[in-house]
Each structure stands twice: as C-alpha cells, then as structure tokens.
Structure 1
Amino acid sequence: MQAVVLAAGEGTRLRPLTETRPKALVEVAGKPILVHCLEQLAALGVDGFVVVVGYRAEQVIDYLGDEFQGIPVTYTYQRERLGLAHALLTAEEHVDGAFVLMLGDNVFEANLAAVVARQRCGDVDAAVLVEEVPWAEASRYGVCLTDEDDAVVGVVEKPADPPSNLVMTGFYTFTPAIFHACHLVQPSARGEYELPDAIGLLLRSGRTIDAIRMEGWRIDVGYPADRDEAERRLNAVDTSATDRGVRGAQVTEN
C-alpha cells in the first residue's frame, strides 16, 4: 500500500516558524513534522511515498531526497493551494490501488494501524480515523456523522453549527474511487476543493466508509502553541519509554 502525504502548505499561522521554511519542515522534538509522519507510515509497512509539495517545495525535496528509510519517494506539485481534494488530485497518476492519505501537519501517537488494517480487509472503500473534540472546537474540522456500527453516513466541512463533535483527524485510507469524486467536487464558499465534499460524493454513490475511533492523541500543528504542545507530548512519550527500558534492564540484571 502506498502513502500520499500532503505537505504543500505555507503555514502562515505558524509564523515566525515558517518565515524561511515550509510548514512540513517545522521541527517538533528535534525532527520536522513531515519526518514524524513518514516514520509512522514506514512503520505501517507502506511501500512508496507520494509527497505533495508546494510552498518552498525545493526545501522539502532537498531534505528528503528520493527515498526515506529505503522507501521510494515521488513528488507532485500543487501550484495553487486550493484545498485538500485539489492537492490529492496531483497524486492521482502515481497511485495504484488502495492507499493511505496523511496530512503532513499532524503529529500522532495513536492507533493508525487499525485504520490500515480495516482497509486491508477489502470490504470497505475508505476508512477514516476520527476523534471526539469539545463541541466548541468541532467547527474547525470536517465533522462526521456515523451510524450505530461506526459507518460514516455524512460529512460536513467546518460547519458553523456542527451536527456532531466527531471529527476527521487527517489520517485516511481510500481506494482510487476517491480520485473520481475529487474530480467532481465544486469549489466551496471559501473557494477551495474540499476533501469532505469528495467523501460525501462517495457516500452518495453507495460507497462504504468506516470510522475508526482514535485511541491516543494527535496535534494539528496550526499555531506555534500547537507545535510546543506536540513537542511536550512527544518528549513525555520518549521519557516514559526510556524509563521503561531502564527498569527492564535493572530487572534483567538482578
């Protein structure tokens, strides 16, 4: 399974961290956000990366080169930042079969493998990692409506009056049917081609999409404070892992 990573953003809300580099190369706990994404995808067993670049694209290409941890990297260019569905379409000709889609500005410590495993079962057209957020925050995201079996029955992008507080996190799996839907999407009120609108078209055509509830956490790194919080959490995870290793060594030694 291939992985498409969307990393074209400028990150204007992250300034001054993005004054001289793209959002994807902002460091969290000593590594660019994009590297955290690729490491997790590599651990899931993907066999190819398609990285969508845009703002200061040459920096991302120079940093990663043509492979990451032995996995080949292909680049596509989003000339104008016109939404996630628009960005995804730049990768269409490089994707063969079901694939993972990850937004390159999220830091996860979560059950990503469960989403991939659900897609590999072969009886769904897509799987989406979702989480419950405070109702006051739901309007910032793509909101999901699900049935009693956690199948997605509706999606709404950044609604003023959210019908649910269950939101998409930026980690998905799809079959190539999503590309056909992206081609049909019309610009939203803010002039962008929205991925939730494409997902809605899949649903209306009878496709099956499952919601996988997140276990763990994720940080959408939109502001400098988000970057600081992601770093704090990752450092806490590393410290905990080190402590477990030390205790284990002591037990073995005794």
Structure 2
Amino acid sequence: MQAVILAAGKGTRLRPLTDDKPKALVEVDGRPLLEDVFDNLLEVGADELIVVVGHLKEQIIDRYGDTYEGVPITYAHQREQLGLAHAILQVEPHVDDDFVLMLGDNVFRGNLGDVVNRQREDRADAAFLVEEVPWEEASRYGVLDTNEYGEIVEVMEKPEDPPSNLVMTGFYTFTPAIFHACHLVQQSDRGEYELPDAIDLLIQSGRTIDAIRMEGWRVDVGYPEDRDRVEEKLRDELGRDVVSVTLTEPSSEAETD
C-alpha cells in the first residue's frame, strides 16, 4: 500500500517555530511531526512513502534520504504551494493504485486502520476520518453537510458560515479517481486548488464516499499553541502508559483517549 504525505507547506502560522525549517520538521516531544506521520502510516501497513515536498525541501530529503525504517521513500516536488488538490496531482506519476493520504502536520492517536479496512472492503473512491469540532473552529477545516439520513451531500473548504461542525481530519484513502477530480477543480477565492472541492466532485458524480467517525484524538498543528497541546496529550498518555491505535473495526470495548 502506497502512502502519500503532504509536507510542502511553509507553516507561516507556526512562526517562529518555522523560521528556519519546513513545517513538517517542527518537533513535538523531541521528534519531527513528519516522523510521527511516518510511524502511523507504517502501523497501518504502508510499504512505500511518497512525500510531497516544497518549502525548504532539502532539509527533509537530507534528513530521511531514500528510506525510513526500511520502507522506501519517493519525493514529489510541489514548486508552488497552490493547495492540497494541486499537491496531490504532483504524486500522480508515482501512484499505481489505491493509496492513503495523510497531512504532514497532524498528530493522530486513533482508528486510522478503520479507514484502510473500509477502503479494502467497500472499494470506496474516498474514505476519511471525520470528527466534530467546536462550532467556532469549523471554518478552519473542510466541512461536511449531511442530509436527514446522515448521508454526505456536500463538502466545502473553510466556509465562512459552516453548515455543520462535522469536519474532515487529515487522513484519507483514495482510488485514482481523485486525480481526475483534482484536475477538474477550479481555483478558489483563496487562490488554491482545494481538496474538499475535489472530494465534492466525487460526491456529485455519484462515487462511493465513506466517512468514519474519529476515535481517539487528533491535533492539527497549525499554531505554536497546538504543539503545546499535543505535547501535553502525549505526556498524559505516557503517564497512563496507554497508547491506543485501533487497526480493526471499532467496537464498544475499543480503548480510546
């Protein structure tokens, strides 16, 4: 299973932590964010890592080279940071089949394996973890609008007036159909090619999309205070000697934090 990691960002909101390094190399609890992402992907069975690099890319390439823990790394170069859909298109020549996508600035302790399992069972064109966030934070994310039956009818990127507080996290699986959708996406008002717009095109075309509720926790490290929050959560986990990563379908007995 190939895994794509988006790690080309500058991390301007993370300054001064990113004054001299790419966002993905900001350290949390003494380790770069990117290593935590790699470890999560290896846990769910990734046998190739495809890293999209851009800003200060040499630091990432020099640090990790061609392999991580024996798993080969391929680098794809995003020369302009024009959004996540644009970043995904940079890996199109390297992807052979279904793949996992993970954002390089998210720390997860949760049921990532459920998404991979669902993809294999349902052959959905997209599957991803979702979570409810405080309403005032929803406009930071890709927001899902659902009908009365709980079916996803629309996905929108950072809406000013979110229709719900149910948002996509930074972990997805896709079939190659996502590449066609990304090619069709129009530039947003923010000047970017948005991944939620590509997923919305899949929805509107009748493709199978699965949303799986997050179990455990996730932190999107966008600001310096987010890094502090992650480190506090990790310290709490170590204090209890509990790390929960679920690789099977969730059950009522699943251990979460």
TM over 0.5: yes
Q: Corresponding residue for 2:44?
A: 44
Aligned 8 A contact 1:150 1:211 in 2? no
- Aligned residue type for 1:157: E
- Aligned residue type for 1:225: E
SS in 2 for 1:164: coil
Question: Which consecutive aligned stretches of 4+ in structure 1 deviate over 6 angstroms post-superposition?
Answer: none
| Runs of 5+ unmatched residues, structure 1 | 244-254
SS in 2 for 1:121: helix
1:91 to partner: Cα distance: 0.4
1:126-141 equivalences under 5 Å are 126-141=126-141
1:240 to partner: Cα distance: 1.7
Q: Corresponding residue for 2:61?
A: 61
Q: Which protein is richer in helix relative to its size? A: 1
What CA distance in whole angstroms lies between the structure 2 residues aligned with 1:233 and 1:182?
Answer: 35
What CA distance in whole angstroms lies between the structure 2 residues aligned with 1:150 and 1:100?
Answer: 24
- Aligned residue type for 1:177: A
SS in 1 for 2:241: helix
1:144-155 equivalences under 5 Å are 144-147=144-147, 151-155=151-155
- Aligned residue type for 1:37: V
Aligned 8 A contact 1:9 1:55 in 2? yes
Aligned 8 A contact 1:151 1:209 in 2? no
- Aligned residue type for 1:154: E
Q: Corresponding residue for 1:15?
A: 15
Cα separation, partners in 2 of 1:151 and 1:208, compared to 1, 3 Å: farther
1:239 to partner: Cα distance: 2.4
Cα separation, partners in 2 of 1:85 and 1:199, compared to 1, 3 Å: same
Q: Corresponding residue for 2:86?
A: 86
| Runs of 5+ unmatched residues, structure 2 | 244-257
What CA distance in whole angstroms lies between the structure 2 residues aligned with 1:154 and 1:71?
Answer: 36
- Aligned residue type for 1:233: K
Deviates more, 1:29-38 or 1:231-240: 231-240
What CA distance in whole angstroms lies between the structure 1 residues aligned with 2:122 and 2:24?
Answer: 32
- TM-score normalised over the length of structure 2: 0.91
- Aligned residue type for 1:49: L
Cα separation, partners in 2 of 1:211 and 1:228, compared to 1, 3 Å: same
What CA distance in whole angstroms lies between the structure 2 residues aligned with 1:213 and 1:94?
Answer: 30
Aligned 8 A contact 1:23 1:105 in 2? yes
1:153 to partner: Cα distance: 2.4
1:150 to partner: Cα distance: 5.3
- TM-score normalised over the length of structure 1: 0.92
What CA distance in whole angstroms lies between the structure 1 residues aligned with 2:64 and 2:234?
Answer: 22
- Aligned residue type for 1:48: E
Aligned 8 A contact 1:156 1:196 in 2? yes
What CA distance in whole angstroms lies between the structure 2 residues aligned with 1:151 and 1:66?
Answer: 41
- Aligned residue type for 2:192: E
Per-residue deviation, residues 140-191 of structure 1 (Å, max 9, x unmatched): 1100123577543210111111111100011100000000000011100111
Q: Corresponding residue for 2:2?
A: 2
> Size of the alignment, in residue pairs?
243
Aligned 8 A contact 1:146 1:211 in 2? no
